[in-house]
Amino acid sequence: MSAAVLGKLLAIIVTVALGWLAGRLRWLGDAQADPARILSNAAFYIFVPALLFRTTARVDLGQLPAGLLLAYFVPTLALLLAVYGVQQLRQRHRSGAEPALPAVRAISVSYGNAVQMGIPMSAAMFGEAGLGLHLMLVSVHGLILLSLLTALVEMDLARSKARHLGGASLWQVLRSTLRNTIIHPVVLPVLAGLTWNLLGLGLPALADEVLQLLGSAVVPLCLVLIGLSLAYYGLQGSVRGALGVSLLKLLGLPALVLAVAHWGFGLTGLPLSVLVMLAALPVGSNALIFAQRYRTMQAEATAAIVFSTLAFVLTAPLWLAILGRLGA
């Protein structure tokens, strides 16, 4: 692993540690004030929507390579839906089930740290050409994964609410799911950004500057949030689940992407390397924001982010060695 990537990893760990220190010393208030949730809401309702709108409004849709996108998102969505389906089956046989749990687990195993870790990793390991491919994938990463997961979790919540209210028709469940999915701080800015993009309007300089400023706060805010969550929620009862999620994210997803991209789509060389290393990234901070949003598995999502980020030091060289053996 290059010095640049190790330096970025160290910076992430230090920032998370500062958040943990702030939580332990209660600089932002005690547990009753729940500062972690306040920061999470700020990220979810202000900063992340600004980042998503600006990204989708500016992305050049005509330049996105369809084959590369399919080679990455087909296996990624397959794993996402498999984890979601397994968790749904387990929920049926569990008392006091949490409707949002399947979607939270699914986002943890499929959504990687593609910005904080992914961008410097691609730049350091693959140069400008590799970084360009990485950024193309990242530009639709949230659009595809977050939109699908939002629809799934809102459908689960609508069904759960219908059961508690004595039952509801299929149309009522679908209508509630559709409304809550569209009017959502993740999906709505994505749809608005895509509409703006397709109309070819372009972003005024002032609007672009404001959106860029707000979007730049996402990374440090989310890293501090991880540390705060560690301090307030701890790891009790979450280690086993977090380790399972981390293993799937660091080993299962890149193995699946490698198999599908190489033997299914015939990719080799730089494109294959970029796809596999994108899949091999540790759990992204959006998993925690998602867990906070739906008040489900916050401690496990936090632990999975920390465990997978630390373990990435060992798993990244492993995947690079495998790619080297394949001549990528």
Residue type, 117: M
- The residue with tokens 């492993």 is 318
d(CA 227, CA 305): 10
Highest mean pLDDT among 112-116, 166-170, 239-243: 239-243
Return the structure tokens found at 235. 């790891």
Residue type, 327: G
65 falls in which pLDDT band (50, 70, 90)? confident
Q: Report the alpha-carbon angle 88-94-100, nearest 5.
A: 45
CB 296 within 8 A of CB 322: no
Tell me how far CA of residue 18 lies from CA of 109, 183, 217, in angstroms.
26, 34, 16
Hey, is 94 helix, strand or coil? coil
Q: What is the pLDDT of residue 95?
A: 64
Domain residue ranges in the chain: 3-141+185-325
Give, as one character, the DSSP assignment of residue 306.
Answer: H
Predicted confidence (pLDDT) per residue in 6-62, tens digit: 777 788 888 889 999 998 888 887 767 778 888 888 888 898 889 888 888 888 877
Rg value, the chain, Cα: 19
Predicted confidence (pLDDT) per residue in 171-224, tens digit: 666 676 677 667 777 778 888 988 998 898 889 999 999 999 998 888 888 888
**283 phi and psi, to 5 degrees?**
-55, 135
Q: What is the pLDDT of residue 18?
A: 93
d(CA 272, CA 278): 10
Q: Which residue has the higher pLDDT, 150 or 174?
A: 150
- The residue with tokens 């530009």 is 139
Tell me how far CA of residue 12 lies from CA of 17, 64, 282, 304, 309, in angstroms.
9, 30, 12, 15, 9
Give counts: helices (H), strands (E), the chain: 15, 0
What HEC string does 271-303 produce?
HHHHHHHHHCCCECCHHHHHHHHCCCCHHHHHH
Query: Quick check: 236 pLDDT over 80?
Result: no
Return the structure tokens found at 70. 């399919």
Q: What is the pLDDT of residue 222?
A: 83
User: pTM (2 decimals)?
Assistant: 0.83
Return the structure tokens found at 133. 């491919």
Q: What is the pLDDT of residue 257?
A: 97
Query: Quick check: 69 pLDDT over 80?
Result: yes
d(CA 297, CA 303): 10
Q: What is the pLDDT of residue 300?
A: 92
Q: What is the pLDDT of residue 84?
A: 96
Q: What is the pLDDT of residue 190?
A: 81
Q: Look at the domain 3-141+185-325 and name its fold.
A: Na+/H+ antiporter like fold (1.20.1530)
Query: Quick check: 237 pLDDT over 80?
Result: no
d(CA 157, CA 137): 30
Predicted confidence (pLDDT) per residue in 79-138, tens digit: 999 999 999 998 876 766 788 899 999 999 999 988 778 877 887 788 878 877 887 888
Calculate the CA 21 to chain-centre distance.
25
**112 phi and psi, to 5 degrees?**
-95, 170
Q: What is the pLDDT of residue 7?
A: 78
Closest CA to 107 of 162, 174, 186: 186
